[in-house]
Structure 1
Amino acid sequence: MKSGFAIGAAVLAIGGAAVPVPVVAQQPARTVQQDFEAATALSEKPESRAAALAAWQALETRTKAGTRSHAIVQVRKGSILFRLHRYDEAIAALRAGLAGLPARDASLAEDRVMAQLELGAIAVETLDYAGAASTYAAAEAAATAPGEKLGAQLSLVHVQTFVDPAAARATMGRIDALAARTKLASDARGLIEQRRAELQMNTNDLPAAKASAIRAVSAMGGLTERTSIGDVGARSDAAIALLLTGNREEARRYMAMTGAGRLPKGRFNIAQQLAAPDCGGEAGLKPDDMAVVQFSIAEDGSTQSVTPIYSSGGGKVALAFAQAVRDWSWPVEDVAALPTFFRYNARVEMRCSTAFPRPAISDSFDQALAAWLTEKGAPVTLVADGSDALALPAQRAALATAEARDPKSLAVLAALITLANNRVVPREERSSLYERGLAIAEANAVPPLPRLALELPAAAYRSADDRKDQFQRAVTPLLNKPFYADDPQARAALRLALVDHVDSKRASANRDREIILRQVVDDAALAKDDPLKVGALVRLASLQIEAGKPDAARSAFAMTGLNAQQCAVLDARPRMVSTPGAEAFPQEAQAWGFEGWTQVQYDIGADGRTSEPRTLLSYPPFIFSQAASDFMGRARFAKTYRPDGGLGCGGNVQRISFQIPGK
């Protein structure tokens, strides 16, 4: 029996032929220690992090909860999750592991310090500097090796600079004591001086900050052509300290040696989603407050590693500015064209905005569509909170899910609109989204005014390079379609859109605008206080004052029922009629080979002259700030009507790029 079974297992008779069956030897079971060593080896290779995570997760099931081994595995798993940017999971694993590590086991000091440092780094990434200070202090206390202790102290002093400067000074004292008895590399000593300089700058000890910053640059090798990430930070700190102490030319020399604004090829384009924080708020930001914030750009176009470097208003102000940068986004194609080195640790000069909301005519279409979709059970997000780049994957997934259920549903339309409003979506894709959305809107009988939220952007994207004549040719026929022409608000909205796209270079431009505006004003089907009619009257009053007809302007404005403060909210921004030329490019920046970008806020008087120009954002810091303000100070706009002759248009924001021709 035994022998017959063995033979039967060894061969099978198929068609009279005996076919051998392979016999696989049983592999000896791997020990937990062997798997631990394999997971450790995978963890050391950035390209193997996913495999390392799987290895640690497998080990977690093989070790008994509550044991030393289980706690070590949780810490190591948390470390990999941290490197994969899965921060919530990392926090849970690291904290669980720390809680399970035997407190008196000195051999686990390295794991304990690593876990605390990574928890601190996660807190820093979310700008929770108070939480980071607590975990970095725990890491310093747990560290036994001088290198580990110094690393914890340098991380600690940075966050304390912005939440507890007095504690930061005490930490600097411990750093100096450790450095005095330890042999350190020159780069490490340079980093110590850099942290000292940042603390001194942020506590207004500017002469000392300048000396410390210059020592940091010197320790890292001086102003040589060699430029590492560490060199960039130290030289930039020196530039800030020199500028704050009145050494402008020397500051530019140090800034030039950071490489910022001097790419070997291509350009560091301004972000697609970018805004300065509003003045006021919980941090009490003031118009005179200024900050320098450092950030890196991830491959998906979002910002990461955002951290304040300097603020004239203290740590709370610095963190508020940094929080605004966390929501910036670049298109993926811009990031791909940017040399990798320049994506890391870029710095920008920042001020807060005093602008007030200025809803555009198109906002009424968007809101009408959002309200209609919500009523139909398909809510839409017109503006997502936070970073558009980070929101993009989830928005694409939501669209795919909705399409899988019903490709012509209102849920798909809502997902299309949400995605189309994402500012990092490429132009071609956005054009396709609006066209697809328009087809779904037609199939689902979306009413005229809400449908314009799709119709007008689709027409604009069909117009090559946003040419105004092409936009007019695309939109004018819509007024002849009964669907829009029979709806008072829709036809008024279309006419205002046409007014705002009249080519100013045409001799008959203002006459054409007046004809269209009067069609809106004289439309008896529109209520006197309809926002579209009011918007037409405000525009008409400005045209009349530009034509030298003050009485007609006064009459048109009186029909709006608005006061001087309200009118700017409903008016279109005045047309820019002249700007400075190439002389606006600062000579010293051109001499050093700097390029960059800015965002400027300014007011426009009723006479078309600008006032109160303020540079809100400037890259690289301090290079183009004054030039950008001067540029907008000399720009001129078309005249607008205001009953008191005062402010024509307040709180405008303009982006300006400074580029060297032929580069």
Structure 2
Amino acid sequence: MRLKSACLSIALAILPAATAWAADAAPAAKPSLQEEFNKASEAAENGQCGTALEIFNRLAVDPRVKPGTLSYAAIAVRRGNCLVSDGEFEEGSEQIHKGLPILVAAGPDFTFDVMRAEDSLGRAAAQAFDHDAAIIHYRKALALVQGAPRAQILVHLAQVTAFDGGTVPLDYANEALGVVQSIPKASKESLAIAYTTRGRIYLNQGQIKEATADFRKAVDLAGGLTLSKVSINDVAIRSDLAQAQLLAGKRDEARLTLAYTGAGRIEKSRFTPGRAMPVPECGQEFGLRPEDSAIVEFSIDDDGHVLSAQTIYSRGNYRTAATFARAALDWSWQPEQIAKVPAFFRALTRVEMRCSNSGAGMPGIVAPLFHRMDEWASPIIQSSGFPNLENSRLYRSREQLHQFGASRETAGDARGAAAAFALAALADGRAIQSRVDEIDHAMALLEGAKGNPQALNSLRVMREVIALAMSASKTKDPRSSAANRFLSLADMPDIAGDALAQATVRLLAAERLSSKAGAEQKVELYQRVADDARLGEGHPLRQVALLYLANIAAAQGHLQDAQGFFQRTGLTEQQCSVIGAAPALRSSRADSSDYPLEALHMGFEGWVKLEFDISADGKTANTRALLAYPPFVFVDAASGMARDFRYATSYRPSGGSACAAQSEVVNFVNP
């Protein structure tokens, strides 16, 4: 603490104009800039960033603090650190970038502040799933520090590389543990975090015995399995141990350990599925296989939206883990629904997740448009000097792209800047304002430079998709509102002259129209896309439209028309069944005997979202669990129940699958 205050005293004292102004003009009773700064820094150091930010925010607009000075830089960086600590990652990163170059240029007196800033930037990048950027920032921070402070940065590096395989993540984790063990009177909590970090790497590398041993040590350091004075960290560590026990085949031990997390045992309230819980599609678009799975940990805000998410365990690489975590960021609950769940459990919840086969390997509606954008923009930024980092296509860094775009704009390269900003928006799957801002900026640059019209259209559609996702929770009838906005966009002259953009928007509109009130309009939109010769035979969007038309015709009993639409797609019957109208459930045959006895005796409640195919005779097949809460407690029971589900019979030319990837939620409620 004293070291940082001393460094910042230098930052303020070497600026005579600002310091003299404060001395001459400030009343004696009013704290000086230095006193205010020290007070804010002390509050931040003590974990009181709310108090610190109030002071830093005042200092940031104080006329005595001149932009470009060391005092300005020191305030901006420390303010940014606090914002990152409070979860305001984008604003925090922006503040840090304002001051960091000045502190770096000021020399070794500011080494500690530079280290803290790089660590904060690493945390912000990791939160945005910018794998490469996070590693770059953490390594810069690590190079600036020796001794005990290295432990936290090493833990962060171990976490961001945990799914990369090889020895590197374990090297980071082992060094972090060694540093903590070397600290005299190191806290048990610090040791538990170090063991947990290494245990998770062992877990993801399939070294279950070693993972279990580390998690047991962490649990013991945290006080063992008790129900008194349980913290969020205790819940996380116990959940890790339960996962390792399950993978080791010790199911009874796993359930017992899980009971001490409180998951599935919330008094006076049940944690029920949210109003929107999409999972990623299996296939090439996300690089996921049906056998891939993950345990995702997330927190939920008071308004029902997910605040943060991270993958704890995954059968896959970093891209797989990041894709599952990104999906959770799009989940939401009704505010009144989530208000019934205690804040403690909303702060840390875990589910088991798998990808969906509902796309059968086909691209999503917007995928061809986004692919066209990537094909236009990627060669431009590469030719403009964008660094070709290892795995950059998999872990393309949004931060790096944004900074590159800013540098190209400064250099007068509007086209290169627009391409970088567009790819920065593509690199993040969240519905957030900063993506809209990046798209608006890219569009302005392209329009000013009279750039590629198709790129502009892709950006217009992308912007609308993100903006509608952002406003969905605030709109009375979000689906109808979205359909109308997409229909208006489809009629814009620029969009109408671009076959791919117009077809994309029409399908997005049809998706959101009511199956009853908007039935005729849906058919008209699908027909227009199916017959749009500008797209070419076999185009994915024409196939999607034809599949919808086939299923609508079949549902109306027009079997010959349905067969004709099927044949025009050029797809197999299995692929056609994916987008079929789901047959009605006739009987579940569920009764109390389906409740797992061990879960019943231990008081567990929960739910499983299943996915399965429905054959033409109404029976189910190929059952998979997409989501399960708590993880691994009810999956087997729910899958067994699905075998007894019976649906209405359906027409298929060969009598094969009537509906692929149908989903149902099975709830397990203690009587």
Q: TM-score range by the shorter chain?
A: 0.5 to 0.7
Shift of the 164–60 alpha-carbon distance from structure 1 to 2, 3 Å rule, reads farther
Deviations 1:365-398 (A, max 9, x none): xxxxxxxxxxxxxxxxxxx998898679x99xxx
Normalising by structure 1, report the TM-score.
0.67
Deviations 1:32-65 (A, max 9, x none): 2133234446656454465234223135852562
AA matched with 1:267: R
**Structure-2 separation of matches of 1:336 and 1:622:** 26
Q: 2:647 aligns with which of 637, 657, 660?
A: 637
Would you say the 8 A contact 2:352–2:627 is kept in 1?
A: yes
Query: Residue 32 in 1 paired to residue 39 in 2?
Result: no
Would you say 1:279 and 2:282 are equivalent positions?
Answer: yes
The equivalent of 1:269 in structure 2 is 272
What is the aligned partner in structure 1 of residue 536 from structure 2? none
Q: Residue 540 of structure 1 contacts residue 556 of structure 1 at CA under 8 Å; is this kept in 2?
A: no
| Alignment partner, residue 601 of structure 1 | 611
Instruction: Name the CA distance, whole Å, in 2 between partners of 1:385 and 1:319.
Output: 12
| Residues 301 and 431 of structure 1: CA distance in aligned 2, closer, same or farther (over 3 Å) | closer
Residue type matched to 1:190 in 2?
A
**Shift in Å, 1:120:** 1.4
Matched, 1:322 2:329: no
TM-score by length of 2: 0.66
Q: 1:123 aligns with which of 116, 122, 125?
A: 125
2:178 corresponds to which residue? 177
1:298 matches 2:301: yes
CA distance in 2 between partners of 1:350 and 1:634 (Å): 23
What is the SS of the residue equivalent to 2:666?
A: strand
After superposition, give the CA deviation of every residue in 1:546-591 in whole Å (9 maximum; x if it has no partner).
xxxxxxx7x7866767584576367421111110323322222222
Structure-1 residue corresponding to 2:584: 575
Conservation of the 8 A alpha-carbon contact between 1:236 and 1:255: yes
Letter in 2 for 1:316: R
Q: Which residue of 2 aligns with 1:611?
A: 621
Query: 3-state SS of the aligned residue for 1:161?
Result: coil
Counterparts in 2 of 1:128 and 1:564: CA distance versus 1, 3 Å = closer
The equivalences for 1:237-252 within 5 A come to: 237-252=240-255
Q: Does 1:538 align with 2:545?
A: no
Secondary structure, aligned partner of 1:78: helix
Quick one: distance in 1 between partners of 2:578 and 2:188? Answer: 58
Instruction: Letter of the 1:597 partner, please give it.
Output: W
- Name the residue aligned to 2:58: 55
Cα offset for 1:242?
Answer: 0.7
Q: CA deviation at 1:422?
A: 7.3
State the Cα RMSD in Å.
4.4
User: Percent identity of the aligned residues?
Assistant: 29
Question: After superposition, where does 1:351-430 map in structure 2 within 5 Å?
Answer: 351-356=354-359, 425=473, 429-430=476-477
Give, in angstroms, the shift of residue 319 of structure 1.
2.0
Q: Which whole-Å CA distance do the structure 2 matches of 1:417 and 1:106 have between them? A: 47
Deviation per residue, 1:14-35 (Å, 9 max, x gap): xxxxxxxxxxx99457532133
Specify the alignment match of 1:654 in structure 2: 664
5+ residue gaps, structure 2: 1-24, 366-425, 438-462, 489-504, 525-544
Greater displacement, 35-44 / 171-180: 35-44
Instruction: Indicate which of 236, 239, 242 corresponds to 1:236.
Output: 239
Structure 1 residues 501-560: Cα deviation after superposition (integer angstroms, max 9, x where no partner): xxxxxxxxxxxxxxxxxxxxxxxxxxxx99998556413559xxxxxxxxxx7x786676
Q: Secondary structure at the match of 1:189?
A: helix
Is 319-328 or 221-230 further displaced after alignment?
A: 319-328
Change in CA separation of 1:617 and 1:86 when aligned onto 2, cut-off 3 Å:
same
Contact in 2 for aligned 1:295/1:346 (Cα 8 Å): yes
Cα 1:564–1:134 change in 2 (3 A) is closer
Quick one: which of 116, 136, 145 aligns to 1:134?
136
Counting only pairs closer than 5 Å after superposition, residues 25-174 of structure 1 correspond to structure 2 as 27-28=27-28, 31-40=32-41, 43=44, 45-48=48-51, 51-59=54-62, 62-63=65-66, 65-67=68-70, 69-83=71-85, 85-101=87-103, 108-144=110-146, 146=148, 148-163=149-164, 165-174=166-175
Q: Secondary structure, in 3 states, of the residue corresponding to 2:643?
A: helix
Q: Is the 8 A contact 1:602 1:650 kept in 2?
A: yes
Residue 367 of structure 1 corresponds to which residue in structure 2? none
SS of residue in 2 equivalent to 1:588? helix
1:68-123 CA-to-partner distances (Å, cap 9, x unmatched) read x3332221121233245443332232234332226796664542332122111101
**Structure 1 range deviating more: 286-295 or 529-538:** 529-538
Instruction: Look up the match of 1:225.
Output: 227
Structure 1 residues 279 and 559: alpha-carbon distance in aligned structure 2, compared to 1, 3 A threshold: closer
Alpha-carbon spacing, 1:45–1:425, altered in 2? closer, same or farther (3 Å): same
CA apart distance, 1:277: 1.2
Distance in 2 between residues matched to 1:35 and 1:211, nearest whole Å: 48
Which residue type is aligned with residue 284 of structure 1?
A: G
